[in-house]
Chain A
Amino acid sequence: MKNLEAVAGNGLLDRRAFLRGGAALAAAMTGYTLAGPASAEPLADDPWSRAPGTNVPAYGVPSRFEKSVVRTLSNPNGEPRTQHGRTPHHLLQGTYTPNGLHFVISHAGDADIDPEKHRLVIHGLVKRPLLFTLDALARYPMVSRMTFVECGGNSAPLFSREPIQASVQALHGLASCAEWTGVALSALLEETGVDPKAKWLVAEGADAPALSRSVPLAKALDDAMIALYQNGERLMPGNGYPMRLLLPGWEGNMNVKWLRRLKLVEAPAMSYYESRTYAPILPNGKAYQFYFLQEVKSFITHPSPGLMLKAPGFYEISGIAYSGNGRISKVMVSADGGQSWAQAALHEPVLSKAFTRFRVPWNWNGGPAVLQSRAWDEAGNVQPTRAQIIAVRGQAAKVPRVTAFPSQHYNGVTSWAISSAGAVSHVYA
């Protein structure tokens, strides 16, 4: 079967190999995917087949067998500092992140807001300052879009000079993707009118620290949204209930949660988070400011550390690619540490500034392998290798804790080593 020939080193197969189906293909696959004859024990009904099941709940939750599919928490006892909940990418598939597993960073807990009393004010350099209730916003024409949100500090452990042994959840879990629905910010700014002097807006939350960020007006008028719904239901409290600013493709922290105020101004406010936190230090002691964009990136979720390969044979390598600059145009996958590459299949539809699932069939021969993915976006940007990004951005002087943020905005390649025993570890290659 021609399609099952390796197209790159260490057993990577043509991405179309399993899309065509058919008996001949199934037969061809048998050699390394189908186990031997089924168990010798005759089939019988299990207990759940012999009695009615449980009552249908008013709000469904996953099966009791899925209790391990949860976020990891950096501060589960709510000590007076930031709390992070990371998405378990290695236990999910597809491109949508379930709402309960969407990553959350809250700098002083999740605000508990009564939606009837919440207000959004737009003021400053506008013709008419206006106050909007949630009821009022809910009557505006709605827009929906799939988009990822990623913390500017996601993947920061890869700035460590030694590869930190941790799951894809620990390394890359501060990015998630949902369908967001709400009101285009441009529609509201049309009603307030915009003074020609306005160049920025300062967004502020109703949470305890009144988190605030400055956003260029051009982004606000381009594709910004006041998001009210997440994957069809109202926003989760940790994602900004009852409303958040959504800036597709831009640094998570700027997508201000619990949004209560937008002030149009001439110049940025230089708030704590823009002037300090999300300004990464460069090797020469200068620092990047106004990074904003989440650049093109990908990582392999299957397999990844914590998932074992039990025996040689067929596996699907899959992962997530995304770019704050638009659609993913191509993902290449290597099983030999970057010496040779196979083009991955992209799950359709490929949407702008959204997670794109990529897949490559792989025939693991049981020997050591190093898996990598590398993404391109439609704007022509290519995900840097780790060596390329480190050459510009440097690496941490000390090996950090996995939950630390030695810098921000890492979008380089991630490498997973497969041992002969089938264990997956994090390496630099």
Chain B
Amino acid sequence: MSTHKLTAALSIFAVNFGCLAAGPNLGKPIDAAEIAAWDISIPPDGTGLPPGSGTPAQGASIYAQKCAACHGENGKGAANAAVVGGAALTNGIDTVKTIANFWPYSTTLFDFIRRAMPYQQPRTLTNDEVYALTAYILALNKLIGENEAMNAQTLPKVKMPNRDGFIPRFPDKL
């Protein structure tokens, strides 16, 4: 066999081998539709935001019913953190971090409410309810207008005040 043919044969072998990989191959192929219910991370550009929409007014009534017991009336805090207000971060390294004074991206609010709230019944809110609560909290903090609806198009465009307040600690690790 010429060197050329040997190389070709080896590369075909490598391709076949590559398809199967060298390991035990005990993973079961799964498609996007089967993963959909778990595929809930929403990055800052809004990729993956679901259909639906909600306004601050709609959010206010859901908040009173499902959130106020822990987070206080009108978002002012109770046993758990306030969702409105926040001091200047220059007040001290122990300044309480809030949505308004700290969170860099509005999408994190949607992502966190949808995945983790209400604390006792996570992932029971509809997408419309999550949009509405997100809109309510952003409006309480005057980060959007009182009548502005949040949806897959509008939410990623909300610029949070502290977006540029961060310094990567070890840029070489990224």
Contact residues of A with B, CB < 8 Å? 79-81, 108, 121-123, 128-133, 136-137, 139-141, 159, 187-188, 190-193, 202, 204, 208-212, 216, 218-219, 260-261, 263, 265, 267-272, 275-277, 279-293, 393-398, 400, 406-407
Contacts and interface: CB of A to CB of B under 8 A. Distances in A.
Contacts of B4: none
A400 B41 contact: no
9 contacts: A193-B21, A208-B122, A210-B115, A261-B38, A269-B41, A277-B97, A292-B173, A393-B93, A395-B93
Interface string B35-60: 10011111111000000000000000
Contact of A276 (B38, B41, B102): B102
Interface of B: 21-32, 35, 38-45, 70, 79-80, 88-95, 97, 102-105, 107-108, 111-112, 115-116, 119-120, 122-123, 165-170, 173-174
A275 B112 CA distance: 11
B166 A287 contact: yes
A324 B70 CA distance: 37
A219 to B, nearest CB: 7
A322 B53 CA distance: 49
Contact of B173 (A141, A219, A263): A219
A351 to B, nearest CB: 21
Contacts of A272: 108, 111-112, 116
Given A130-B28, A140-B23, A279 B166 contact: yes
B48 to A, nearest CB: 10
A284 B90 contact: yes
Nearest to B30: A131
Contact of A130 (B30, B38, B45, B104): B30
Given A80-B70, A286-B167, A406-B94, A192 B173 contact: no
Given A131-B30, A132-B27, A140-B23, A287 B94 contact: no
A139 B42 contact: no
A80 B27 contact: no
A167 B37 CA distance: 45
A121 B88 contact: no
B97 A276 contact: yes
Contact of A275 (B39, B41, B103): B103
A191 B21 CA distance: 5
A290 B80 contact: no
A263 B41 contact: yes
A102 to B, nearest CB: 24
Contacts of A397: 91-95
A184 to B, nearest CB: 10
A216 B97 contact: no
A267 B42 CA distance: 11
A192 B27 contact: yes
B170 A80 contact: no
B26 A136 contact: yes
A209 B116 contact: yes
Nearest to A395: B93
B40 A210 contact: yes
A80 B102 CA distance: 23
A269 B42 contact: yes
In the A-B complex, the 7 residue pairs with the smallest Cβ-Cβ separation, listed nearest first, are A130-B27, A397-B92, A209-B116, A406-B94, A136-B26, A285-B90, A396-B94
Contacts of A133: 28
Contacts of B29: 128-131
Given A191-B23, A204-B40, 19 more contacts: A123-B35, A129-B30, A130-B28, A136-B26, A136-B27, A139-B26, A208-B122, A210-B116, A218-B173, A219-B173, A272-B116, A276-B97, A285-B89, A287-B165, A289-B166, A292-B173, A393-B93, A397-B95, A406-B94
Contacts of B123: 210
Given A131-B27, A204-B41, A396-B93, A285 B116 contact: no
Contact of B79 (A79, A108, A140, A211): A79
Contacts of B43: 265, 267-270
Contacts of A396: 92-94
B39 A123 contact: yes
A270 B21 contact: no
A209 B107 CA distance: 16
Contacts of B166: 279, 286-289
B105 A270 contact: yes
Given A269-B42, A270-B43, A394-B92, A275 B167 contact: no
A121 B42 CA distance: 17
